[in-house]
């Protein structure tokens, strides 16, 4: 697509031309518009368009001056003028400057389209210069924090940043790097072996993303965008936001385009508090419950890889503080987390399994005496979910065993039937909550998976020879 810019101080004319002319039919897209010649010159310098359609009489810089100065800024640009009958002499003068043509107001759409048709033929016959999009040096300057040098470098690569021309960072994560088949001006730089960044003018972001070749890509990928910014000082932070968003596949398990999650909506602080308290109390059930609650938040992109990084290293730190140094490992960055686990749910599974080593509970001893691999899986599942609705029937469906065979195998391997084992796990947890919390007996019963208060107290008394209230009083 060839880039076109419209410059006219009458807004209704600009909108009429944009909407009425069939730009794409002739291979053009309106890449920018300006209400005066001064703004038009900035667009010409930044976009290097193939075509500029400009009014003659405009404030600040008129059309004739725009053409003269515009040719110096963008030698390959073709200009055409709009003028009324009273300005015909100016239009003729514009032709002497080497303009491609002119249209008299009130213009006809067909007249502009005929001009575009002729121009497209001319452009097709011209040798096309190979665009220079790569600028690794720009990325290095950005990382250095030198704001003045960054501003200069942006101008050198044809992407000057200003209030009128804000920039949007885009980061692509995945192999192979998605090929770019469009002609929208941008700057590209490699961030590491599997990540590439782009800077694009904000008003062209959607066009740029739409021109990426996403079809037929068999490799999982993520594309992250950052907030639009008009200040060089904010560009690094915006790129960081795009970088975090580009790990969207890690969170959701789906390839696609991701925008920064709102920091105000992030529940990460409360999650870290819950995990810290659960580990301090050696409450594995609470820990598992908090981790499981994170799964849908990752899937809906309410939690990002930044949050996953905080969760992982916080849990590892808490393990090491409790003396479990042998099982702890800290991550040095998002990439390590991404390439070690691939998706958030795999990280969650890993952390849940690690609590088996952190908590020296009955499960570790029980698993050591079980030989059947499927029963080991079932015991692990029961210990993670015993406070939820569970039955032999539901377990048989989940683990693909008949209810009768599962009951017999469970009794043989574990030494007691499923109902007895499940009830004992629930009551053991109830004892912990009675001793360590101020929750009511009814609340504790529900927390442990008992929906009936009287059934809870009956089972508790059968296994402990006292009621829950008496047990609390004895502690």
d(CA 426, CA 389): 12
If you search the block for the tokens 């020296």, which residue do you land on?
360
Domain boundaries, given as residue ranges, for the chain = 2-125, 136-260, 265-360, 363-474
Q: How far, CA to CA in Å, does 211 sit from each of 180, 182, 186?
A: 7, 5, 12
CATH number of 363-474: 1.10.10.60
Q: Are 89 and 15 in contact (CB under 8 A)?
A: no
pTM for the full model?
0.58
Say which CATH superfamily domain 2-125 falls into. Response regulator (3.40.50.2300)
d(CA 51, CA 54): 10
For the segment 428-448, the average pLDDT, to the nearest whole number, is 86
Q: Which residues pair with 28 in a beta bridge?
A: 2
d(CA 18, CA 29): 9
Per residue in 219-253, pLDDT tens?
678 899 999 999 988 999 999 999 999 999 999 99
Q: Which CATH number, 3.30.70, 1.10.3470, 1.10.357, 1.20.120, labels domain 136-260?
A: 3.30.70
Per residue in 109-152, pLDDT tens?
888 888 889 888 888 876 554 445 557 788 888 888 888 888 88
If you search the block for the tokens 């499960």, which residue do you land on?
363
Two tokens, residue 155 = 């101008």
Least confident of 19-28, 173-182, 386-395: 173-182
Is the CA virtual torsion 238, 243, 246, 251 positive or negative? negative
The reply to whether domains 136-260 and 363-474 share a CATH topology is: no
Per residue in 314-325, pLDDT tens?
888 887 776 554
**Nearest C-alpha neighbor of 334 from the set 186, 176, 235, 224:** 224
């Amino acid at each position: 697509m060839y880039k076109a810019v419209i410059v006219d101080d009458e807004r209704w004319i600009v909108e009429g031309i944009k909407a009425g002319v069939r730009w794409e039919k002739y291979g053009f897209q309106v890449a920018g518009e300006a209400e005066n010649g001064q703004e038009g010159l900035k667009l010409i310098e930044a976009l290097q368009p193939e075509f500029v359609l400009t009014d003659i009489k405009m404030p600040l810089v008129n059309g004739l001056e725009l053409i003269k100065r515009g040719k110096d800024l963008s030698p390959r640009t073709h200009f055409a003028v709009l003028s009324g009958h009273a300005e015909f002499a100016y239009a003729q003068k514009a032709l002497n400057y080497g303009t491609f043509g002119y249209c008299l107001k009130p213009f006809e759409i067909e007249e502009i389209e005929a001009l575009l048709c002729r121009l497209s033929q001319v452009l097709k016959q011209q040798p096309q210069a190979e665009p220079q999009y790569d600028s690794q040096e720009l990325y290095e300057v950005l990382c250095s924090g030198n704001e003045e040098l960054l501003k200069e470098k942006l101008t050198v690569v044809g992407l000057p940043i200003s209030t009128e021309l804000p920039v949007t960072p885009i980061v692509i994560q995945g192999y192979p790097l998605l090929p770019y088949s469009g002609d929208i001006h941008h700057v590209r730089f490699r961030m590491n072996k599997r990540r590439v960044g782009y800077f694009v003018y904000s008003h062209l972001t959607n066009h740029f993303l739409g021109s990426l070749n996403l079809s037929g890509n068999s490799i999982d990928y993520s594309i992250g965008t950052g907030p639009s910014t008009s200040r060089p000082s904010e560009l690094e932070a915006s790129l960081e936001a795009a970088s975090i968003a580009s790990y969207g596949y890690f969170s959701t398990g789906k390839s696609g385009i991701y925008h920064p999650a709102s920091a105000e909506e992030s529940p990460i602080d409360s999650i870290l508090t819950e995990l810290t308290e659960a580990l301090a109390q050696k409450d594995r059930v609470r820990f598992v419950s908090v981790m499981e609650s994170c799964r849908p938040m990752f899937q809906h992109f309410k939690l990002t890889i930044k949050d996953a990084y905080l969760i992982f290293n916080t849990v590892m730190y808490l393990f090491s503080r409790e003396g479990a140094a042998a099982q702890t490992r800290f991550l040095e960055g998002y990439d390590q987390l991404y390439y070690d686990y691939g998706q958030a749910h795999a990280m969650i599974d890993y952390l849940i399994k690690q609590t088996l080593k952190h908590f020296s509970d009955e499960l570790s001893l029980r698993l050591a005496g079980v030989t059947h691999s499927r029963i080991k899986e079932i015991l692990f599942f029961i210990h993670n979910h015993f406070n939820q609705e569970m039955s032999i029937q539901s377990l048989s469906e989940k683990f693909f065993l008949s209810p009768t065979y599962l009951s017999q195998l469970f009794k043989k391997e574990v030494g007691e039937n499923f109902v007895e084992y499940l009830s004992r796990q629930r009551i053991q947890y109830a004892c912990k909550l009675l001793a360590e919390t101020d929750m009511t007996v009814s609340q504790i019963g529900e927390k442990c998976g008992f929906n009936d208060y009287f059934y809870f107290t009956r089972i508790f008394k059968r296994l402990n020879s006292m009621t829950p209230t008496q047990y609390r009083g004895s502690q």
